[in-house]
């Protein structure tokens, strides 16, 4: 539970920083998890992209992919180091500016960005492609934490949504102005901006935000109303986008139909060429067994579509086995549990909510990725954080963990604990 205590959230940065001398500070366990995942990313990307040698249409070899991934790691490690050395008050002050900057960049990606697999998500920056929606996810969490911070004294009593459809009524106007727009406005705006190109990312933002609101003591009744309303709005929005041919509404519908078909039809006689991406991933998991086929020896890398990104976990199982893959899944859950432990040591609302939200963001994405591999949910296109090939996701996930470590670093030099 969060109690309102903002006395320590205003100005002791200099005193804290001057007492710190270690190179890597903050939660050591979180540093170890990060290091393990970074090393695994290099191994998985190199091994999974070996099939590029036999792909005539591919302009990249496995060596090129390895070189790029190492380059991204070399960029990410200094990034997390710099961020974890910064005082979290800086993140709070810069949040509104960065939030609206990433809103504009995400919109710009639809207009001048490059399109891959029917989705316009990337902005070209020299030889690289930048995905601004990854940054927007982080800034949405920080915006929500910032807005919830000033309402902790009464947040368990407020109406999150209007209590009547008569929105012109003074009482309903006050609810909209004081509660709905400040708290839900940034979340809804982010979901609307991201939804056309990446439905599952909008879902991740929404899920993390709802859990943050629960952690922040918003009443369960208000959260149930919010979930019902936003779910209905999301379904209607996707239907409208699909009807007018905008965004990925048809793709989301097709993936849902394929998922239902895979659960309701017998696929025993299906050939490899007729299999869906998820079915190929399940074949890879089956071939991996308990202990895997061995690093670099997976026979499923040619079968699995995008084993270096969308289906990295299935490829990991095929090489290292279910036992090791379960340990990998526990590492992502551990990130969340370490975040909660860091939250408990915070003495003010903003770092508490920011840390919980960022931990949720990483863990929810990882779990969605894993659930797709075993066909528990429809295909989402979500990558495995820190492991899948891709520079933008790696950099922004590193920044998110760096922010959590920044809060942990502050806690180490602030002996006052949460009561």
The 3-state secondary structure of the chain reads: CCCCCCHHHCCCHHHHHHCCCCCCCCCHHHHHHHHHHHHHHHHHHHHHHHHHHHCCCCCCCHHHHHHHHHHHHHHHHHHHHHHHHCCHHHHHHHHHHHHHHHHHHHHHHHHHCEEECCEEEEEEECCEEECHHHHHHHHHHHHHHHHHHCCCCCCCCCCCCCCCCCCCCHHHHHHHHHHHHHHHHHHHHHHHHHCCCCHHHHHHHHHHHHHHHHHCCCCHHHHHHHHHHHHHHHHHHHHHHHHHCCCCHHHHHHHHHHHHHHHHCCCCCCCHHHCCHHHHHHHHHHHHCCCCCCCCCCCCCCCCCCCCCCCHHHHHHHHHHHHHHHHHHHHHHHHHHHHHHHHHCCCCHHHHHHHHHHHHHHHHHHHHHHHHHCCCCCCCCCCCCCCCCCHHHHHHHHHHHHHHHHHHHHHHCCCCCCC
pTM of the full structure: 0.86
The tokens of 380 are what? 């989402």
Helix axes 185-194, 220-244, angle to 10 degrees: 30
Q: Is residue 336 part of a domain?
A: yes
Residue 105's closest CA among 397, 398, 396, 403?
Answer: 396
What pLDDT does 16 receive?
A: 37
> 240 or 176: which carries more pLDDT confidence?
176
Q: Taking 90 as the threshold, does the pLDDT of residue 411 lie above it?
A: no
Residue 165 lies in a domain: no
| pLDDT 10s digits, 278-310 | 888 888 888 888 988 888 788 777 788 888 888
Does some domain include residue 327? Answer: yes
Q: How many whole angstroms separate alpha carbon 370 and alpha carbon 332?
A: 11
CA distance 134 to 201: 9
Residue 211 domain flag? no
What are the distances in angstroms from CA 231 to CA 32, 191, 223, 236, 238? 37, 12, 12, 9, 11
The total number of structural domains in the chain stands at: 1
Q: Is residue 9 part of a domain?
A: no
How does residue 204 score in pLDDT terms, banded at 50, 70 and 90? very high
Mean pLDDT, the chain, rounded, equals 83
Is residue 14 classed exposed, middle or buried when 0-12, 13-18 and 19+ CB atoms within 10 A define those classes? exposed
Q: What is the pLDDT of residues 339-354, one digit of tens each?
A: 999 999 888 899 999 9
Task: Render pLDDT for 122-153 as a digit per residue (tens, 0 to 9).
Answer: 787 766 778 899 999 999 999 999 999 988 88
pLDDT at 6: 44
From residue 148, how far is each of 145, 217, 320, 402 by CA, in Å?
A: 5, 10, 43, 22
Q: Judge whether 98 lies within some domain.
A: no
Residue at 205 is within a domain? no
Residues 250, 344 contacting (CB under 8 angstroms): no
Domain of residue 317, residue span: 23-85+266-419
CA 352-358-364 angle, to 5 degrees, is 125
Closest Cα partner for 62 from 78, 74, 44?
Answer: 44
Task: Tell whether 31 is covered by a domain.
Answer: yes
Report the side by side order of strands in the sheet with 119-125: 114-116, 119-125, 128-130
For 221-245, give one letter per residue: b (16+ CB within 10 A) or e.
ebeebbeeebeeebeebbeebbeee
Distance of CA 239 to the CA centre of its chain: 25
Banded pLDDT at 57 (limits 50, 70, 90): low
Higher pLDDT, 56 or 140: 140
pLDDT at 171: 87
**Residue 355, pLDDT above cutoff 80:** yes
For residue 86, the model assigns a pLDDT of: 93
């Amino acid at each position: 539970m969060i109690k309102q205590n903002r006395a320590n959230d205003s100005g002791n940065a200099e005193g804290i920083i001057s007492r710190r001398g270690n190179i890597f500070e903050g939660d050591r366990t979180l540093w170890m998890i990060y290091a393990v995942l970074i090393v695994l990313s290099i191994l998985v990307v190199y091994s999974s992209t070996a099939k590029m040698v036999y792909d005539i249409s591919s302009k990249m070899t496995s060596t090129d992919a390895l070189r790029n991934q190492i380059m991204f790691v070399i960029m990410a490690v200094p990034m997390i180091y710099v961020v974890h050395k910064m005082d979290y008050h800086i993140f709070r002050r810069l949040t509104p500016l960065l939030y609206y900057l990433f809103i504009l960049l995400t919109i710009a990606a639809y207009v001048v960005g490059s399109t891959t697999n029917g989705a316009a998500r990337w902005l070209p920056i020299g030889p690289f492609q930048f995905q601004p929606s990854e940054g927007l996810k982080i800034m949405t969490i920080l915006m929500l934490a910032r807005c919830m911070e000033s309402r902790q004294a009464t947040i368990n009593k407020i109406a999150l949504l209007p209590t009547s459809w008569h929105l012109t009524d003074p009482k309903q106007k006050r609810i909209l102005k004081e509660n709905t727009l400040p708290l839900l406005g940034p979340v809804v705006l982010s979901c609307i901006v991201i939804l056309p190109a990446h439905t599952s990312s909008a879902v991740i933002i929404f899920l993390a935000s709802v859990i943050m609101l629960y952690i922040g003591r918003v009443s369960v009744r208000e959260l149930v109303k919010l979930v019902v309303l936003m779910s209905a709005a999301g379904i209607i929005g996707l239907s409208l986008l699909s009807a007018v041919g905008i965004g990925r509404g048809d793709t989301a519908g097709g993936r849902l139909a394929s998922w239902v078909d895979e659960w309701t039809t017998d696929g025993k006689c299906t050939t490899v060429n007729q299999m869906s991406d998820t079915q190929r991933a399940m074949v890879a998991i089956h071939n991996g067994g308990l202990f895997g086929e061995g690093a670099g020896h997976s026979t499923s890398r040619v079968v699995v579509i995008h084993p270096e990104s969308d289906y990295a976990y299935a490829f990991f199982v095929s090489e290292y086995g279910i036992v090791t893959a379960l340990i990998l899944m526990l590492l992502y859950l551990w990130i969340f549990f370490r975040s909660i432990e860091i939250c408990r040591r915070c003495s003010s609302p903003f770092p508490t909510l920011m840390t919980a939200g960022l931990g949720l963001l990483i863990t929810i994405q990882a779990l969605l990725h894993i659930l797709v591999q075993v066909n528990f949910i429809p295909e989402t296109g979500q990558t495995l954080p820190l492991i899948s090939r891709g520079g933008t996701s790696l950099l922004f996930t590193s920044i998110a963990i760096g922010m959590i470590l920044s809060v942990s670093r502050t806690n180490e030099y602030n002996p006052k604990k949460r009561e």
